Chains A and B, each alone.
Chain A
Amino acid sequence: MARAVSTRTKIGWTIAAWIVALLIFFPILYTIITSFKTEPEAISGFSLIPSGTLESYWEVQSRYNYFQPFMNSVIISVGSTVLALLVGIPAAWSMAFSPGRFTKDILMWMLSTKMMPAVAVLVPIYLLFRDWGLLDSRIGLTVMLMLINLPIVVWMLYTYFREIPGEILEAARMDGATLWGEIVYVLTPMAVPGIASTLLLNIILAWNESFWTIRLTTVNAAPLTAFITSFSSPQGLFWAKLSAASTLAIAPILIMGWFSQRQLVRGLTFGAVK
């Protein structure tokens, strides 16, 4: 009896989970489906079965250069993440292992910057970029995204480092490890999984960041987010091409995400599951 109930509950939850997952995934799926339709097909109404044409891809590929925005996206997302780690690792480290009186306040303050809508600082940032000649430059955008994601990077790393038991570091000290030995043989191997999760999640966040990337670039530094936007131009609705461009834009990150699922789940749950 008890067994029957628990099986039924399990099935119920499984179905619920699938429905939620499909609901979340559906827009992406429909984008991919639409990318294989012709333009008339795309606007003719709801249909899950495309004609399977590669027309949109050909046009996107031949009329617009996919490679440059793709490279820009790679450079900007990887660059900003690496920069954020370079700054974030020492910061999170010191906060986790030798917290001061204000550590908690600093962490909250950093997070609070994420509570403000980005548009609130659009004008000052835009003017700074203009005056420093950073508009439409990869360096400017990389630094910008690094700063945008830094609070999350520091928070994630802080949570991971806090999980490393202090007694293990003390054991290393008792075992005669120098500070260097402690870092190389004990801390780093234990911190690497957390750093890897942070890295992956932040590459994704930076890859998809579309507020600053669109507003601070025009041509040269424009990443894939700007590339997609150029297809939703006011001259007309090109849904199939827009979908093809979107699919091309998310494909690399989707593939990367697929291969690093385990690390990502750890990252998204912020180390809550061991």
Chain B
Amino acid sequence: MGNITLSNVSKAFGTTVIIPNIDLAIEDGEFVVFVGPSGCGKSTLLRLIAGLEDVSGGTISIDGRDVTNEAPARRKLAMVFQSYALYPHMTVAKNIAFPLKMAGESKEVIDKKVADAARVLNLSNYLERRPGQLSGGQRQRVAIGRAIVRQPTAFLFDEPLSNLDAALRGTMRLEISELHQQLKTTMIYVTHDQIEAMTMADKIVVLNAGNIEQVGSPMELYLKPANLFVAGFIGSPTMNLIKGEPAAKLGAATVGIRPEHLKLSTSEGEWKAKVNVAEHLGSDTILHVQSEIAGAMTVRADGGADIHHGNTVYLTPDPSRLHRFDKDGKAL
């Protein structure tokens, strides 16, 4: 089991309030992603759950048991750190075995579980090496191995892929998702990268300045962002946000339209615009345009679009895909 419930949780360092007040329920087996810009308190929230920081107020319970004042070890959670935090003086095998050793397992059990974990994570040939002799991706896998051997109630990941190069990040993202399918254990994953959030999560928690802006499945956040912050944060390229007259016509302070929901034409349409930059990605073409009425916008067109710098285009928003926001940034 791995239900985690936060009620009225707050955290301040001295007089600086980092997390004003958070309520959140995480179901057993869910893959939950905390996403938000750097410095918004994601790591702090994760560390509160881990028990590495004490809450300033509120309660945290795991499977109905109040663990607010319990030491990290007694919460039975495993954590993968951004820096991997491997033990530099121990071999890979010893690193993975460490939690089992601390739990007082017998040598046979430890050896078997370490061998199993190493096989799953493709580390069998590296068991006798030190962390310093491994590549970034291998270190990452050792950190994951150390987390899985103990069969914890839940896994906590703090930006585990941010030190890897782009290609490796893609592979590891898949591996972690597959691991979740296999283990079906609750996972809480922190990232500032909305693509990681969208691709991996069952449930995304969007944080901003220590507050939850919205909780929902990736598609819910994509289709129905609750406010301007979420609208601008989720989706790539980011949503076009238009103020002023075109918005007022639709009875809103701001309207949002995603780049993929603008109909493109070279002859007619609602907004006339000039192409500044055309990025031909092959699969699609991303156009950065300037419109007299609607301002700077991004458009996603098909890969074959024969449009270049300096061309004039016409854009028509899909009315059913328009997002309207009031003057406080809330969705209407």
Are A167 and B81 closer than 8 Å at their CB atoms? yes
> Which of the candidate stretches A18-26, A52-60, A171-179, A243-251 sits at the interface with the other chain?
A171-179
Are A174 and B73 closer than 8 Å at their CB atoms? yes
Are A185 and B83 closer than 8 Å at their CB atoms? no
Asked if B52 lies at the interface with its beta carbon under 8 angstroms from chain A, I say yes
Query: Chain A, interface size: which category?
Result: 10 to 19
- CB-contacts of B77-130 with A (<8 A): 77-79, 81-83, 85-89, 98-99, 101-103
Give bound CA distance, A177 to B103, whole Å. Answer: 8
Are A173 and B71 closer than 8 Å at their CB atoms? yes
Q: Mark B229-253, 1 if CB is under 8 A from A, else 0.
A: 0000000000000000000000000
Interface residue tally for chain B (C-beta within 8 Å): 23
In the assembled complex, how far is the CB of residue B198 from the closest CB belonging to chain A, in whole angstroms?
Answer: 28
Chain A residues near B83 (CB-CB < 8 A):
165, 167
Give bound CA distance, A197 to B54, whole Å. Answer: 36
Asked if A87 lies at the interface with its beta carbon under 8 angstroms from chain B, I say no
Q: Mark B138-161, 1 if CB is under 8 A from A, else 0.
A: 000000001000100000000000
Asked if B29 lies at the interface with its beta carbon under 8 angstroms from chain A, I say no
Chain B residues near A170 (CB-CB < 8 A):
52, 72, 79, 81, 85
A178, A185, A190: the one within 8 Å of B88 (CB):
A190
Are B77 and A174 closer than 8 Å at their CB atoms? yes
In the assembled complex, how far is the CB of residue B219 from the closest CB belonging to chain A, in whole angstroms?
Answer: 33
Chain A residues near B297 (CB-CB < 8 A):
none
Are A168 and B85 closer than 8 Å at their CB atoms? yes
In the assembled complex, how far is the CB of residue A177 from the closest CB belonging to chain B, in whole angstroms?
Answer: 5
Are A177 and B87 closer than 8 Å at their CB atoms? no
Are B98 and A175 closer than 8 Å at their CB atoms? yes
Are A168 and B87 closer than 8 Å at their CB atoms? yes
Asked if B48 lies at the interface with its beta carbon under 8 angstroms from chain A, I say no
Beyond A186-B87, A190-B89, is A177–B73 a contact (Cβ under 8 Å)? yes
In the assembled complex, how far is the CB of residue B90 from the closest CB belonging to chain A, in whole angstroms?
Answer: 8
Give bound CA distance, A189 to B89, whole Å. Answer: 7
In the assembled complex, how far is the CB of residue A97 from the closest CB belonging to chain B, in whole angstroms?
Answer: 14
In the assembled complex, how far is the CB of residue B243 from the closest CB belonging to chain A, in whole angstroms?
Answer: 43
Beyond A181-B102, A185-B98, is A173–B85 a contact (Cβ under 8 Å)? no
B52, B73, B89, B99: the one within 8 Å of A178 (CB):
B73
Are B52 and A173 closer than 8 Å at their CB atoms? yes
Give bound CA distance, A185 to B101, whole Å. Answer: 11
Give bound CA distance, A186 to B95, whole Å. Answer: 11
A165, A176, A186: the one within 8 Å of B73 (CB):
A176
Chain B residues near A174 (CB-CB < 8 A):
50, 52, 72-73, 77-79
Give bound CA distance, A165 to B102, whole Å. Answer: 20
Residue of A168, A176, A177, A185 ringed by the most chain B CB atoms within 10 A: A176
- CB-contacts of B259-292 with A (<8 A): none
Give bound CA distance, A174 to B99, whole Å. Answer: 8
Chain A residues near B81 (CB-CB < 8 A):
167, 170-171
Give bound CA distance, A170 to B146, whole Å. Answer: 14
Chain A residue with the shortest CB-CB distance to B101: A185
Are B88 and A175 closer than 8 Å at their CB atoms? no
- CB-contacts of A125-180 with B (<8 A): 165, 167-168, 170-178
Are B71 and A175 closer than 8 Å at their CB atoms? no
Are B72 and A173 closer than 8 Å at their CB atoms? yes
Q: Mark A185-212, 1 if CB is under 8 A from B, else 0.
A: 1100110000000000000000000000
In the assembled complex, how far is the CB of residue B87 from the closest CB belonging to chain A, in whole angstroms?
Answer: 6
Give bound CA distance, A198 to B81, whole Å. Answer: 31
Give bound CA distance, A46 to B226, whole Å. Answer: 90
Are B73 and A171 closer than 8 Å at their CB atoms? no
Give bound CA distance, A227 to B246, whole Å. Answer: 95
Give bound CA distance, A170 to B83, whole Å. Answer: 12
Q: Known pairs A174-B79, A175-B99, A176-B103. 19 more at Cβ < 8 A?
A: A165-B83, A165-B85, A167-B85, A170-B72, A170-B81, A170-B85, A171-B86, A171-B87, A171-B146, A173-B52, A174-B78, A175-B73, A175-B78, A175-B150, A176-B102, A177-B73, A177-B98, A178-B73, A190-B89
16 contacts between A and B (CB under 8 A): A167-B83, A167-B85, A168-B86, A168-B87, A168-B88, A171-B87, A173-B71, A173-B73, A174-B78, A175-B98, A177-B98, A178-B73, A185-B98, A189-B89, A190-B88, A190-B89
Nearest 6 CB-CB pairings of A with B? A171-B85, A175-B99, A176-B102, A167-B85, A176-B73, A189-B89
